[in-house]
Chains A and B, each alone.
Chain A
Amino acid sequence: DTAVSQTPKYLVTQMGNDKSIKCEQNLGHDTMYWYKQDSKKFLKIMFSYNNKELIINETVPNRFSPKSPDKAHLNLHINSLELGDSAVYFCASSQPPGRPEQFFGPGTRLTVL
């Protein structure tokens, strides 16, 4: 009965490959997010979707493309992976405006070789 789940937990791949990370939430929330945590543990928002509609799109290379097939899922596809993409990626969800706190998934550690 995990609230926010991500797959895979670990992802090791070569430069230039394309990979996807999946996220699902069973909290009934309308809003979902992707964050990147770098090696210094700094967390930065990448994207946010509300009811399948993109609402926040921070300065992220267009090699990153989020897709929301329904409001319970938000996947992240990354093309032409680069060394600098190595990080931990977190998915989160919330139900603003009444419940603005975000609930986070366990993270996906991406290592690009």
Chain B
Amino acid sequence: AQSVTQLDSQVPVFEEAPVELRCNYSSSVSVYLFWYVQYPNQGLQLLLKYLSGSTLVKGINGFEAEFNKSQTSFHLRKPSVHISDTAEYFCAVSYRYSGSARQLTFGSGTQLTVLP
């Protein structure tokens, strides 16, 4: 089974500073990669996805992530954060479960707190 590791459980950062949230996964065989954001008391919202092609993917709200197959990483970055980016961020890997079914495995989450 796949595993996803988010190395930092909490990341505090000052407003307008850059941020990187780290994500590593266990295998790159036929995987798709995602980042989701969860605001307090809400569901998960898709930030960006990597299915194939360019290893640098851009998402909503100014976020981007880079797929690195050799390092099995998919780190999330934003050059300048806002207070409104304060939320929990989840990295997820979709891998083939059986037949055409795919299963999504989540990391443990990173709480990003943007300080004024």
Binding site for B on A (CB under 8 A): 4, 31, 33, 40-45, 48, 50, 55-56, 90, 92, 96-97, 100-107
- Cβ distance B107 to chain A, nearest Cβ, rounded Å: 9
Interface residues of B (CB under 8 A from A): 32, 34, 36, 38, 41-46, 49, 51, 88, 90, 94, 97-106, 108-109
* Contacting pair A42 B106 (CB below 8 A): yes
Least CB distance, A47 to chain B, in whole angstroms: 11
Q: A43-B90, A56-B101 are in contact. Are A104 and B106 (CB under 8 A)?
A: no
Q: Given the interface contacts A41-B109, A56-B97, A100-B94, does A48 sit within 8 Å of B103 by beta carbon?
A: yes
Checking A42, A56, A97, A107 against B103 with a beta-carbon cut-off of 8 angstroms, the contacting residue is A56
What chain A residues lie within 8 Å of B42 (beta carbons)? 106-107
A96: nearest chain-B partner, CB-CB: B102
A40 CA to B100 CA, complexed, in Å? 31
Report the separation of the CA atoms of residues A72 and B80 in the bound assembly, to the nearest whole angstrom. 39
B32–A100 CB distance below 8 A: yes
| 16 residue pairs A–B, Cβ–Cβ below 8 Å | A4-B43, A41-B38, A42-B109, A43-B109, A45-B104, A48-B101, A50-B101, A55-B97, A56-B103, A90-B44, A96-B100, A101-B32, A101-B49, A102-B46, A102-B104, A106-B43
- With both chains docked as a complex, state the minimum distance between the C-beta of A106 and any C-beta of chain B, in angstroms: 5
Q: Is the CB of B46 within 8 A of A100?
A: no
What is the CA–CA distance of A50 and B103 in the complex, to the nearest angstrom? Answer: 12
Give the distance to chain A from B23, nearest Cβ to Cβ, in Å. 14
Contacts of A100 in B (CB 8 A): 32, 49, 51, 94, 102
User: What is the distance, in angstroms, from B4's C-beta to the closest C-beta of chain A?
Assistant: 10
